[in-house]
Chain A
Amino acid sequence: MRVITAVIAIAAGVLILAGYYFSPLKDVQTLLLNWTLIFIGAAALVGVFNILFVHADKIRRREKGSVYSALLIMFLVATLIFGIIVGPEHITMKLVMDAIILPVEAALMGILTVTLLYAAVRLLRRRVNATSVFFLLTAALVVLGSATLPFGDIPVIGTVFRPWVTQVLALGGARGILIGVALGTLMTGLRVLFGADRPYGGN
């Protein structure tokens, strides 16, 4: 069974990849990608049920924080049922999105600002070396150079230092990192295509 799974997965991977280079295989590629999209849609539903079962299990075991699990299940089921009945375009569903989900995510983003500032301060406690000092100093100066101030840009920092750091140093470094990430991604993809890594199960 595992061999059959691997053969199907590798064949599908090779066909999709070949579709990018050989036009006669383009239709096969499109067909396989469409099937994938359907599977991913189904997987989203499985994901929702996974959330539901994990939290139901927490409540059953009376684990720490199970009150939050109960709240999550209550609102998840209510939103799901209501959404199925009235449809996602209904004004109430839009209100759920605009008045609850978006503000909560925005609040988390706000917390993130403080968290990042705190992490930056703790960096010096955790790793006191030249790189950390340079990292923090650069971050502070770039923030200062980007800040909207009543008197305009800070001379040198806002007009020379920040553009040079963000458009020359940071861009160059980012490209280097992204090239490394791209090479890593290429190798990971090839390992999956060769069946050396089988994320779909099997040894």
Chain B
Amino acid sequence: MSGFGIELGILAVSAFLLLVITFWKRRSPSNLREIPALTRLYRMIGLSVEDGTRLHISLGHGGLLDARGGSALAGLAVLRNIAEKTSVSDRPPVATAGDPSLGLLTQDTLQAGYQAAGAGELYTPATGRVSGLSPFGFAAGAMHITQNENVSANIMIGHFGPEVALLTEASDRENVALIGASDNLTGQSVLYASSQDALIGEELFAAGAYIGAGASHAASLTVQDILRWVIIIGLLAGAFGKFAGVI
């Protein structure tokens, strides 16, 4: 079978599993294992509404035309849910992006969240911002929000490189809670060292399921688990086959 055939097969199987498991999860919601950072995220959303502080959701500087788009889309799903839950707050959430196309989607997603909460008239376009167009420019612009806009929590979900250290440092200095996840290995290391509870690897993509973004998000986690086991078995079989001289 050619490489393209295998890719298409994986895609078709994944799509089929996602559809079937989504319908199944709608009928019987599953229990998710506890991820401390995501439990804290859920709590922070409620707290920000109660104490009239602002959430700053940062989606990184991943463009939508390459592999980094996946983390940006995952961040947008989280933003959509947070916007819906906190739109009636005295201080609505602010979202920042470091890529112009992502910036447009940020505004659109925020507006959709407000409309879903029945508070469409409260939406202001200035809450969705492009804070800079280079990684460091983006970080410098986003730092400013942490320091000056009565932010109680920084939620960073998307593509971040080492420049995320500037944002974590600003959070720490202002005593602002921080939850961060990046698809970039350097960014992950920095976030691991700088945040209270770090999100590693694919936990970035689990955030939607944990804040109640819908059955499709919970189903994604199950499909990811199934595919992960298939890969593990494939790797072990490959290693054994090589060892035994079959491959």
Chain A interface residues (CB < 8 Å from chain B): 17, 20-21, 33, 36-37, 39-40, 43-48, 50-51, 53-54, 57, 63-65, 68, 101, 104-105, 108-109, 111-112, 115-116, 118-120, 122-123, 126-127, 135, 174, 176-181, 183-194, 196-203
Residues of B within 8 A of A174 (CB): 185
Compute how far the CA of A118 lies from the CA of B140 in the bound complex, rounded to whole angstroms: 19
B88 near A: Cβ within 8 Å? no
Q: Would you call A187 and B14 a contact (CB within 8 A)? A: yes
Using A105-B136, A199-B77 as known contacts, say yes or no to A180 and B201 having CB atoms under 8 A apart. yes
Stretch at the interface among B27-35, B41-49, B123-131, B239-247: B123-131
Compute how far the CA of A201 lies from the CA of B106 in the bound complex, rounded to whole angstroms: 9
Residues of A within 8 A of B105 (CB): 199-200
Q: Would you call B100 and A201 a contact (CB within 8 A)? A: no
Compute how far the CA of A123 lies from the CA of B190 in the bound complex, rounded to whole angstroms: 11
Q: Would you call A120 and B74 a contact (CB within 8 A)? A: no
Q: Which of B115, B196, B214 contacts A126 (CB 8 A)?
A: B196
Q: Would you call A180 and B196 a contact (CB within 8 A)? A: no
Question: Total contacts A to B, CB within 8 angstroms?
Answer: 198
Using A108-B166, A180-B202 as known contacts, say yes or no to A39 and B73 having CB atoms under 8 A apart. no
Residues of B within 8 A of A181 (CB): 70-71, 183, 201-202, 204-205
Q: Would you call A183 and B109 a contact (CB within 8 A)? A: no
Q: Which residue of B lies closest to A37 (CB)?
A: B65
Which 4 pairs across A and B sit closest by C-beta, in order of nearness?
A185-B70, A184-B205, A47-B100, A180-B202
